[in-house]
Structure 1
Amino acid sequence: MPVHVSVENQLPEDLYRAMGMFIADHPQWDQYRLVQAAIAGFLFQQGCKERSVVRHYLGGLFRRQTADLSTEQPWR
């Protein structure tokens, strides 16, 4: 099981509102996934090649809801 660390941060109000609007329009995202994807994306774009960072970066881009996976038909 991966280790998680809680982080407290202050955001500009307009950024916080934009994050809330994005999450409201994309219910498969939550604040935790969004922040993890943003941090991993920033680190990856800055040249970080650690496997765990790349995994989080790609996972943030391509992860689907559990419900979507349960109703999806297998590829043949």
Structure 2
Amino acid sequence: MKTNISILAEIPEELHESLKTYLDSHPDWDQDRVFTSALSLFLLQNGNSATPDASRCYRQAARVYLESLFRHTA
């Protein structure tokens, strides 16, 4: 089952402007897709797979990351 969780986060104004510029020039991306991709990549880069649970979480983050990168809008 796929569950979505809403996150409210404050980001620096400079980052917000960069995000707006990126989204304006990449209409197939939206804010949710960018944040999903960025968060899953962060977890992949900073996680470990030393235990069975951590390994499962790592694989799930990898799946979410790849799905966010290769999702195509109809």
Both structures adopt the same fold (TM-score exceeding 0.5): yes
The aligned residue for residue 57 of structure 1 is: 65
Gaps of 5+ in 1: 67-76
Of structures 1 and 2, the larger Rg is shown by: 1
Q: What per-residue deviation string (whole Å, max 9, x for no partner) do you get for residues 9-60 of structure 1?
A: 0000000010011011000100000000000011112244522211111112
3-state SS of the aligned residue for 2:62? helix
Tell me the equivalent position of 2:31.
31
Which one-letter code corresponds to 1:51 in the other structure? R
Count the aligned residue pairs.
Answer: 66
Identity of aligned residues (%): 35
Segment of structure 1 superposing worse, 11-20 or 1-10: 1-10
Scaled by the length of structure 1, the TM-score of the pair is: 0.77
Moved >6 Å (runs of 4+): none
More helix by share: 2
Greater RCO structure (CA 8 Å; 6+ sep): 2
Distance 1:30 1:61 in 2: 12
Q: What is the identity, as a one-letter code, of the residue corresponding to 1:16?
A: H
The RMSD of aligned alpha carbons is 1.4
